[in-house]
A = this chain, B = another copy of it.
């Protein structure tokens, strides 16, 4: 059977939960395993309760799952809060010398984390690394891999060495003292070149690959790490990343840069996006290609800043007054974050409109192993450009009316070419107009772009048998959980397939209709309270959805939870 392992590191902010979790995840990835890891933390810098979950498997793993094989509880609160999630056969590792009297259920194993850290490195702070070593010891993993990683992470100087020492101490302690039974034993399989990265990192890589040259963004969880990653690479890749005074400035700067001729992007969450709405309409009206990443978190307002939700779909689809075409892409996996970001820039320039990449906290900050991106198929397409020679003598008109609705773009600074555009309704030459006829033609020209765009959108991904009774439908970050839920249900004999929408607008109405047509029951699974995709499907296809499986507590779905809800609804 496929060996698998589910570890959680839990503690308070400042205890290094994130770095221990990350190193664990990476250690297994290096050893050839598939990994999926997610983060749960509060909106504070120190204290509180955080955890980092790592799921490890020989086969591809796409979602979190609940029963824990190992809990690394870095403080007492974490032990109390999380031990209930242990699987039968799971083990909690904690520091019995620090944690007071607890009723030992036999599944708790005390390791003197602080003492070992102090003995080996004269620093209690490294207790977390001891815990890391203990976990690896428990599964008998190849310590050498962890050693390498610790050196990469903490440097090869004294800090790195100390960390290796204390990790080793934890490792050995468990191997010597653990006498219970623990089933999971993992050895490194075939070392792999798989990457381990977050959705945000994949987006940042996608933007660099697409030749994005200008990023203006204002920090906002969970989008911030996109701009941070890009800022770190700005010098090397010749792009400018700036943090302006607010989100209004950010989107309008991006528009200006794109108008001048470079690929440009911003990234934010729902609250910041609210401030970008007027700018979005400006991009629509002036037909300026821009890419906006909106990484959702639970709203309304500040909501739960460090948690996840899919509550902004309808908002994004209709944001800004008036009507203009836009594209909305919602990657379902970390790979997709890369590919769809790349595609977003192409679509934005080819159709000269704003493209919104809609993700959420769960996707933005979770890690997964993915095959190294094959860049060979990527081609940058800047769309229809004005050829000055062709049109010699002709005056350049930025908004020339064409059958496709697409007007050739020119960049600024070319002799004999003036690029004029306006947020007022304008004529082909870009100057403002007042008459009804021009207005109508310009609206039609812009809206016509949707026809071409519609044809380019990839149909939703179906997984499972064609004629299944039950269809599970989702969008964005729930993809992995839904796929696994379908597996579970199929394993129980239910006839299930799933449909995942990642290219959401223009809406693939026909394909969705067709998929619905074959199923007897359809469930839309969403991390929100009203079933926004379900609404959209109903509006666009005129077809009813059997049920809505919703969750809006800021936490991601597990496959088990989805399967259970489907069972409850009657398969």
Contact = CB atoms under 8 A, between A and B. Distances in A.
Nearest to A422: B302
A518 to B, nearest CB: 19
Interface string A298-317: 11111111000101101101
A298 B320 CA distance: 12
A561 to B, nearest CB: 12
Interface string A236-256: 000000000000100000000
Interface string A301-337: 1111100010110110111111110000000000000
Contacts of A314: 317-318
Interface in A246-304: 248, 269-271, 273-275, 277-278, 281-282, 284-286, 296, 298-304
Contact of A553 (B298, B305, B436): B436
A555 to B, nearest CB: 6
A42 interface: yes
A437 interface: yes
Contact of A301 (B43, B281, B434): B281
B542 A434 contact: no
Contacts of A539: 535-536, 538-539
Given A303-B425, A424-B305, A425-B298, A321 B270 contact: yes
A35 to B, nearest CB: 25
A315 B312 contact: no
A389 interface: no
Number of copies: 2
- Interface size classification for chain A: 35 or more
Contact of A437 (B273, B321, B529, B553): B553
A458 B437 CA distance: 38
B530 A323 contact: yes
Contacts of A296: 321
Interface stretch (A3-11, A174-182, A439-447): A439-447
A285 B304 contact: no
A528 interface: yes
A244 to B, nearest CB: 16
Given A314-B318, A322-B311, A323-B529, A300 B284 contact: yes
A423 B302 contact: yes
A544 interface: yes
Contacts of A529: 323, 443-444, 447
A48 interface: yes
A542 B538 contact: yes
Most buried by B among A278, A282, A324: A278
A386 interface: no
Contact of A321 (B271, B286, B536): B271
Contact of A542 (B48, B298, B312, B542): B542
Nearest to A281: B300
A440 B304 contact: no
A303 B42 contact: no
A285 B298 contact: no
Contact of A324 (B300, B302, B434): B300
Q: Which of A301, A321, A324, A425 is packed against the most chain B CB atoms within 10 Å?
A: A321
B309 A528 contact: no
A474 interface: no
Contacts of A443: 529, 552
Interface centre among A271, A274, A277, A542 (most CB of B within 10 A): A274
B322 A299 contact: yes
Interface in A503-548: 528-530, 535-536, 538-539, 542-544
Contact of A303 (B322, B544, B554): B322
A321 B317 contact: no
Nearest to A273: B321
A314 B425 CA distance: 21
A301 B275 contact: no
B440 A48 contact: no
Given A298-B322, A301-B322, A538-B539, 9 more contacts: A271-B278, A275-B275, A285-B303, A299-B322, A300-B320, A300-B324, A311-B321, A318-B318, A425-B554
6 contacts: A271-B281, A271-B321, A299-B320, A323-B529, A443-B552, A538-B538
Interface of A: 42-43, 48, 248, 269-271, 273-275, 277-278, 281-282, 284-286, 296, 298-305, 309, 311-312, 314-315, 317-324, 422-425, 434, 436-437, 439-440, 443-444, 447, 528-530, 535-536, 538-539, 542-544, 552-555
